[in-house]
Structure 1
Amino acid sequence: MPETVLVTGGSGYIGGWTVAELLSRGYRVRTTVRSRAKERAVTEAVSTVVDPAGRLDFAVADLTADAGWEAAVEGVDYVLHVAAPLGVTGGAGTGNNPDALVAPARDGALRVLRAATAAGVRRVVMTSAANAASPSSYATEGVTDETLWTDPDDPTLIPYRRAKTLAEMAAWDFMDTYRGPTEFTTVLPGAVFGPVLTADTGGSVGIVARMLSGAMPGVPRIGLEIVDVRDLVDLHLRAMTSPAAAGERFLGTGEFAWMADMARILREGLGDAGRRVPTRQLPDIAVRLAARFRDPALREITPALGRRNRHTTAKAESLLAWHRRPLPETLLTCATSLLTHQATPTPH
C-alpha cells in the first residue's frame, strides 16, 4: 500500500503544489481544508497537474481550533505542515499589532504537533520562513545559515516575521520535551514564486501579478531570495524521507534579486506581454513618505529597503542533494502562468 501524507492547507499556493507533487510520486494524500466548500476547488486545481482520483481525501480542520485534528492525522505516515492561518502570509496588510498574528501561527503549529505525535506519525515537516533565521532589521548585508535565530524581541520586526519566528521556536520547544517515535524537521523558504494552479493566488506571486498589470508606478529598492514553488515542494519531500533530515532546519531560499532585476527579466523575457512592467526604481524616501501618508500597508516593507541579507542553502544541498531552478526560469514561468490564468493581484 502507498504511504499516506497529510498536507495542511491544500487550498494554499504551496499546499496545492505539495498535494500535486505527492500524488505524482505515488503517495496517497489527505489535506486539510477549513470547510467542505473548498474541496472542489482543491481537486480542480490539483487536477491540472495530476489525476487525484482515488488517492486524495480531505479533512476539515482549522489551525485556530482543536476540532478535527485527531481525525486528520489518523492513519497517516507523514505530516507536511505547510499551512498558515489567515493573515499570516507575509504580504502587506497583515496588521501592525505585534501580537495579533503570533497566537494563530504558534497555536496552530502546536495543534498539528500534538495530534501528529499522539498518532505516532513518522515525521512532521513544518514550513517556517527564512525570516526566522535572519539578522536584525538594521543589518543591511551578510550571509546567514540555519544556526541563526531571528530575535523575536527586536522592536523593528514586522508582525509576520515575529509570528513565524515564535511559531517555529514553540514547535522546537514542544519537540524538545516530547519522548516518542515522531521526528521533526523545519523548512525555511524565501520568497516563493513559480507557476500557479489557479487564478486565485496571493502571497509573493501577487508581486509579479501587480508588475504585469501596470498597477505599480515603479519598483522599490527591495531584494528577495526567490525560490521556485516546485523546488520548495521537492525540498519538503526530501526533508520528509531522508534519514539525515530528522531534527534539522533547512533553509530553502533562492537567488537574490532586487525588484529592479525582476522587472528587467520580465520585460526582456515576455516581450509585448511584459510591456506594462515598471522599470523605474522608486527612491527610498518616496516609498517611506507613501507609507507614512498615503498607504499604511507599505509600512511593512520599509524595513527591507536597501537590505541585502542572504541565506546559504549549503546544508540542504549537501545533506539532501537539493538543487534549484535558475531565477529567470522561475520568474518567467510564474508570469506566463499568471497570464494564462488571467490572475489578478490579491488586494491589500
Structure 2
Amino acid sequence: MTNKQLVVVTGGSGFIASHIILQLLQQGYAVRTTVRNLDKRALINKMLHNGGLSDLSQLEVVAADLTHEEPWNSVMAAADYAIHVASPTPTLNFKNEDEMIRPAINGVLYVLRAASRNHVKRVVLTSAYGAIFAGHPNQTTPFTEEVWSDLSQPNIHPYQKSKTMAERAAWDFIANDTTGMELAAVNPVAVMGPVLSADFSHSNIQIQDLLNGKTKAVPRVDSGYVDVRDVAALHILAMTKPAAAGQRFLATTGETYSMLDVANILRTAFPAYAANLPTKTVPTPLLKLAAKANPMLRMVAQVADKYAETSNAKAVAMLDWHPRSAKEAIIATAQSMIDLGIVPQMH
C-alpha cells in the first residue's frame, strides 16, 4: 500500500460495494475490502475487471465477517475512511427475526468501534429505504430523509426492521463517540444498473426473472429505482464532502415505477424478449392470501398498493449529486445480464 488515502469497504463482493471499490480505485484511493471468505477474492478481481479496471495494485482483500468482532480492529488499522456496505441479506426462510436483526446491529457496532479506535475520519453506512418507509400506511407526500420507519406498527418485515435498527444503532453510537469520528448514511431505493458478475443483489433478480419469462404476472408494487453507479458516487460524496457529516441521504432518482412499468420499459428496449414479459398484474388480495402460505411472498405482499414516492432533493442540493434516470438504470441492468450471459441471448 502506498501513502494514498486508505478506504475500508466492507462486503467487497456485493453489488453496491463492487461499484464503490471500482470508483474509489479509479479516483486514486487505496482500498482494503472485507469478505466473509477469501475464496471471493477471485470474484472481486473479475468484477473489477468487468468494470474496466486492470490495475488492482491498490486493492487489498481481507477476511472478516459481521458475526465476530476480533478481526475488525486490524481491518481498520491506518484507514482514513470506512464505507460499511456489508449487511446480512434478507433470508426469506428465517426461523425468527433475530437471525436477521442481531447480526445487522452487531455488525454495525463492530465496524464503528474498530473505526473509532483507529481514528477513522468518517464512516459512511449503507442503510436502506427500508429504514424510512416502513410502518407509514397513509403517506401522501414523498418520503424524505426526515422520516424513519415506525417499528411500533405491526407486521413490519424483519429486513426493514434490521435496516432501521442498525442505522439507529449507528447514530446512537456516533452521538456518544468522543473521538470526533463522523458518520453519514446512504439509503438507496431499489438498486439497478450494470451487474459485474453472475453474483448480484436480490433487487436485480426481478429483471432476470422478467426477461427469462419466469414472471407470468407482477404484483402491484410501486418502487423508486436508482443506478448502482450513482449509489456508489453518492457514497463517495458522503465520504468526502464536509456538509455530509451527520446526514442521511436517500439514493433515489425521485421517479416511481410499478413492476408493470418496469416490464414495459424492458419490452420497448429489448423487443426480442417481449413474449417473455408479463402484461398482467396479480390482484393484491390474492397476493396477500398467497403470502400467508408462502413466506417468500411476505415482503412483497406488505408493500403492494403502497405509496412509494421519494425525493432526492437533499442529495442534489447538498452534495451536487445528479443520478441518471431510473429507466436508464433498468435498461443497464438488463443489458449487462444479456452481455454476461446471465440471461440467454434472444434474437
Normalising by the smaller structure, the TM-score range is over 0.9
Q: Using structure 1 for the length normalisation, give the TM-score.
A: 0.94
Matches for 1:127-276 after TM superposition, within 5 Å: 127-134=126-133, 136-139=135-138, 141-254=140-253, 255-276=255-276
Query: Is 2:225–2:326's contact at 8 Å kept on the other side of the alignment?
Result: yes
> In the aligned structure 1, how far is the partner of 2:11 from the partner of 2:227?
19
Query: Is 2:134–2:160's contact at 8 Å kept on the other side of the alignment?
Result: no
Deviation readout 1:266-285 (Å, 9 max, x if unpaired): 00111103431112112112
SS at match of 1:225: strand
> In the aligned structure 2, how far is the partner of 1:269 from the partner of 1:226?
17
Query: Is 2:136–2:149's contact at 8 Å kept on the other side of the alignment?
Result: no
Q: Which residue number corresponds to residue 77 of structure 1? A: 80
Q: Which residue number corresponds to residue 97 of structure 1? A: 96
> In the aligned structure 1, how far is the partner of 2:270 from the partner of 2:109?
44
Q: Which residue number corresponds to residue 302 of structure 1? A: 301
Query: Is 1:128–1:189's contact at 8 Å kept on the other side of the alignment?
Result: yes
Query: Is 1:137–1:303's contact at 8 Å kept on the other side of the alignment?
Result: no
Q: Over aligned residue pairs, what C-alpha RMSD do you find? A: 1.7
Query: Percent identity among equivalent residues?
Result: 37
Which deviates more from structure 2 when the two are superposed, residues 315-324 or residues 126-135? 126-135
SS at match of 2:60: strand
Q: Using structure 2 for the length normalisation, give the TM-score.
A: 0.94
CA pair 96-136 structure 1, distance change in 2 beyond 3 A: farther
SS at match of 1:31: strand
Query: Is 1:141–1:309's contact at 8 Å kept on the other side of the alignment?
Result: no
Q: Which residue number corresponds to residue 14 of structure 1? A: 16
> In the aligned structure 2, how far is the partner of 1:45 from the partner of 1:274?
29
Shift of residue 102, structure 1, vs aligned partner: 1.0
The one of 58, 63, 80 equivalent to 2:61 is 58
Could you list the runs of 5+ residues in structure 1 that have no partner in the other structure?
Answer: none
CA pair 133-74 structure 1, distance change in 2 beyond 3 A: same
SS at match of 1:196: coil
Shift of residue 292, structure 1, vs aligned partner: 2.7
The alignment of Structure 1 onto Structure 2 pairs a total of residues equal to 340
CA pair 60-309 structure 1, distance change in 2 beyond 3 A: same
Structure 1 residue 67 corresponds to structure 2 residue 50: no
Q: Which residue number corresponds to residue 108 of structure 1? A: 107
SS at match of 1:124: strand
Structure 1 residue 286 corresponds to structure 2 residue 286: yes
Query: Is 1:137–1:156's contact at 8 Å kept on the other side of the alignment?
Result: no
Deviation readout 1:88-131 (Å, 9 max, x if unpaired): 34xx7153633321110000000000000100011100000112
> In the aligned structure 1, how far is the partner of 2:55 from the partner of 2:114?
25
Q: Which amino acid aligns with 1:281?
A: T
Structure 1 residue 44 corresponds to structure 2 residue 10: no
> In the aligned structure 1, how far is the partner of 2:178 from the partner of 2:27?
31
- List, as ranges, runs of 4+ consecutive aligned residues in structure 1 with deviation greater than 3 Å: none
Q: Which amino acid aligns with 1:237?
A: I
> In the aligned structure 2, how far is the partner of 1:140 from the partner of 1:124?
31
Shift of residue 171, structure 1, vs aligned partner: 0.7
